[in-house]
Copies of this chain bind each other. A is one copy, B any other.
């Protein structure tokens, strides 16, 4: 089967807008021209900015051999949506460049089903890409829209702002330990193993949270490299520091606290907001049924410190 037939058969369903959960207040943005020409053509509504991010997943580097094709498709799209979430953008379109080694049609079918599962929660339309032969890797580029001037950047944190994180960090790292080692000590513990493996393989992009934080958060990032490392990106971009209350950080049950706050792949949002906005943050967390924890505050003095004024090393996952 040549690449055209493969795309026709398997990727077509991703080019329809199948999702049903699009928030009523956001515009639907079907492409004017989708897959099948030299370019896709889309309209960005007046008064909106285009938000773009891309990420590559390489076999053996970004997903363990145990990951199913469904997981790989799911995660490749989900981690990119997480970047849109971190900007407060509404997902609209994505491109998909897949390099396949010797994957079967069954593999490709399951891979596409994984991607389609993500689009159920966050409607987004496949508009292009390509399929090539080579070592397995997946490159996704997502495009979204955000009202002009309202995107959540990394550079807006101010002294006195409070630091928040959604959900719980360290679960994906615990899932990875389980996935990589069938003899791992964690298998013997009374942990929620399916949940931890799902956190690793099928992270939930916090799209609705990001959108709800527009006008409330002063800065935002998604936790891909590790909480400390990612928060440090915000601190550097904003030219500020932070003091964290380590005990307030929600970490995975059964996981070491320091590992939890330096391990990556959780795709929670870490954000800052002025102290006066705390009740708004609590209210929107409740409305989204998503735990959000206040874990520290922004300081004028640069660097990252704990509640005892001890310096914290912003260690994180080094991709390179």
Q: Are A99 and B56 interface neighbours, CB within 8 A?
A: yes
Bound: A129/B32 CA distance, A: 25
Q: How far is the CB of A244 from chain B (nearest CB, A)?
A: 21
With beta carbons under 8 angstroms apart, the residue of B37, B52, B58, B129 that contacts A42 is B52
Q: How far is the CB of A107 from chain B (nearest CB, A)?
A: 14
Q: Which residues of B contact A130 (CB under 8 A)?
A: 54-56, 319
Q: Is A276 an interface residue (CB 8 A)?
A: no
Q: Which residues of B contact A32 (CB under 8 A)?
A: 49
Q: Is A237 an interface residue (CB 8 A)?
A: yes
Q: Are A95 and B62 interface neighbours, CB within 8 A?
A: no
Q: Which residues of B contact A1 (CB under 8 A)?
A: 320
Q: How far is the CB of A55 from chain B (nearest CB, A)?
A: 6
Q: Are B3 and A83 interface neighbours, CB within 8 A?
A: no
Q: Which of A134-142, A157-165, A171-179, A290-298 contacts B (4 or more CB under 8 A)?
A: A134-142
| Beta-carbon nearest neighbor of A320 in chain B | B3
Interface positions of A from 3 to 51, Cβ below 8 Å from B:
3, 6, 32-33, 36-44, 46, 49-51
Bound: A39/B50 CA distance, A: 9
CB within 8 Å of B: which residues of A?
A: 1-3, 6, 32-33, 36-44, 46, 49-56, 58-62, 83-84, 86-87, 89, 93, 95, 97, 99, 127-135, 137, 139, 141, 143-144, 146, 148, 151, 153-155, 220-222, 237, 318-320
Q: Are A41 and B51 interface neighbours, CB within 8 A?
A: yes
Q: Are B2 and A318 interface neighbours, CB within 8 A?
A: yes
Given contacts A95-B54, A222-B38, whether A132 and B44 have CB atoms under 8 Å apart is: no
Given contacts A52-B143, A60-B134, A61-B133, whether A319 and B84 have CB atoms under 8 Å apart is: no
Q: Give the oligomeric copy count.
A: 2
Q: Which residues of B contact A40 (CB under 8 A)?
A: 51-53
| Beta-carbon nearest neighbor of A44 in chain B | B44
15 further contact pairs, Cβ within 8 A, besides A38-B222, A42-B50: A2-B319, A32-B49, A33-B153, A37-B87, A38-B86, A38-B87, A39-B52, A41-B50, A42-B49, A43-B50, A52-B143, A54-B130, A54-B141, A58-B99, A61-B134
Q: Are A132 and B56 interface neighbours, CB within 8 A?
A: yes
With beta carbons under 8 angstroms apart, the residue of B33, B41, B86, B319 that contacts A133 is B319
Q: List 17 A-B contacts (CB under 8 A).
A: A2-B319, A38-B53, A38-B84, A38-B222, A42-B52, A43-B44, A43-B148, A44-B44, A52-B93, A54-B130, A56-B139, A62-B132, A97-B139, A133-B319, A137-B137, A139-B139, A141-B141
Bound: A318/B132 CA distance, A: 10
Given contacts A50-B44, A133-B58, A319-B132, whether A39 and B141 have CB atoms under 8 Å apart is: no
Q: Are B99 and A319 interface neighbours, CB within 8 A?
A: no
Q: How far is the CB of A32 from chain B (nearest CB, A)?
A: 6
Residue in A44, A143, A153 with the greatest tally of chain B CB atoms within 10 Å: A44
Bound: A96/B62 CA distance, A: 18
